[in-house]
Amino acid sequence: MTNRPEGDARAARNERREAARQRAQRARTQQKRRQRGLRLGLQIGIGVVLLAAATVVTLVLVDSVQPAGPGPANTSQGGITIGQDLKAVTASSQSPAPTSTDAAGSVRITMYVDYLCPICGQFEDANGEYIQNLVDSGAATVDIHPIAILSNRSQGTKYSLRAANAAACVADSSPDQFFAVNQALFAKQPEEGTAGLTDAQLTKVVTGVDGLQKRSTITKCIEDQTYSKWIDERTTAVTGGDIPGSTLEEFPGTPLVLVNGQRYELTSPITNDDFRTFVVTAAGASDATPTPTPTPSATPTRSATPSASPSN
């Protein structure tokens, strides 16, 4: 006789095992679906991040290779030429070969300056008035090239770059006052290693020069740093050996001063007597004697003792 209770129990156990197996299978199926969803979400997320990163890198690269754009008006090869009566010589009438004297036979002085460079300031103290008198009388012209090699020496404010940009703003909008602004920037020169002047202070120095034209335009130009990329580009070119007005293949540092293409070797201390002798000698070599010969300026009054080599 068949034992029915035992058969029923076996069938019940089989049913429970089958039900458990089906639940486990459903659970595995759901788990696989969740994992596929997670993997898909992760892949999409990574793709979005990578796309965003690639976009940022592309924008940075595009910005880094973007040309600086045209430089300020009234400049040529990175500098502005100042002639008789301290008036700017327009870009269209500048000599294409600044290593020689101009048509009138006057001496051509070329200067590369950084407005944070202390030795540039000392050279200006000793010889600024002498150069002013030579240029004002028509005995010489001066090409001034503002560059920014000390941008990392002002506690992160990039004073050299901002000051050179301010000078470029003046070259563009009020060129006949450039020489006076150049003097004013050196008169208010901060010490190397300090934060330098703020943009507001720079603007006050520049717009305080008598006769300045287009003050509001220049103020906005300083605020916007309109020519900062151009200054960067010119600084890179010059320090890389592209030095208009010179046959030098390497940039020795600022200030770089040339007279009719001949480099003036700085002395220690910097004196007007020495520079005046060099100018007369260089002028004699090209049969262009600078007249009149003004009374030499005093030796530098700054407390810092200049080194014999230019600042870098």
Q: Which residue's structure tokens are 């300026």? A: 297
Distance CA 148, CA 295 (A): 32
Q: What's residue 99's pLDDT?
A: 40
Q: Rg of the chain over CA atoms, in angstroms?
A: 35
Distance CA 44, CA 276 (A): 73
- Helix runs in 68-214, H state only: 118-137, 159-173, 178-187, 199-207
Q: How many CB atoms lie within 10 A of CB 46?
A: 10
Closest C-alpha to 147, from 80, 78, 66: 78
Q: Which residue's structure tokens are 């012209």? A: 141
Q: How far is CA 145 from CA 29, 47, 238, 271, in A?
A: 75, 49, 10, 22
Query: CB-based contacts of 217: which residues, under 8 Å, 6+ apart?
Result: 169, 173
The answer to whether 284 and 301 are in contact (CB under 8 A) is no
Q: Which two tokens stand for residue 32?
A: 């696989």
Answer left, alpha or beta for residue 52, where phi above 0 means left and psi between -120 and 50 means alpha: alpha
Query: CB-based contacts of 121: which residues, under 8 Å, 6+ apart?
Result: 186, 189, 302
pLDDT digit string (tens) for the chain, length 312 residues: 445 566 677 777 777 777 777 787 777 777 777 777 666 666 666 665 455 555 544 444 444 445 557 899 999 999 999 999 999 997 554 444 444 444 446 899 999 999 999 999 999 999 999 999 999 999 999 999 999 999 999 999 999 999 999 999 999 999 999 999 999 999 999 999 999 999 999 999 999 999 999 999 999 999 999 999 999 999 999 999 999 999 999 999 999 999 999 999 999 999 999 999 999 999 987 555 565 444 444 444 333 333 334 444
Closest C-alpha to 167, from 144, 133, 198: 144
Q: Is the dihedral of CA 231, 233, 238, 242 positive or negative?
A: negative
Question: Following DSSP, what letter does each residue of 43-101 receive, concatenated?
Answer: HHHHHHHHHHHHHHHHHHHHHHHS------TT-BTTBEEE-GGGPEEPGGGS-S-TTS-
CB neighbour class for 151 (10 Å; exposed up to 12, middle 13-18, buried from 19): buried
Query: CB-based contacts of 78: which residues, under 8 Å, 6+ apart?
Result: 71, 145, 147, 234, 237, 238, 244
The CATH architecture one would assign to domain 80-285 is: 3-Layer(aba) Sandwich (3.40)
Q: What's residue 208's pLDDT?
A: 97
Q: What's residue 20's pLDDT?
A: 76
Q: Which two tokens stand for residue 175?
A: 């060129």
Buried b (16+ CB within 10 A) or exposed e, 71-95: bbebbbbbbbbbbeeebbbebeebb
**Segments making up each domain of the chain, as ranges:** 1-66, 80-285
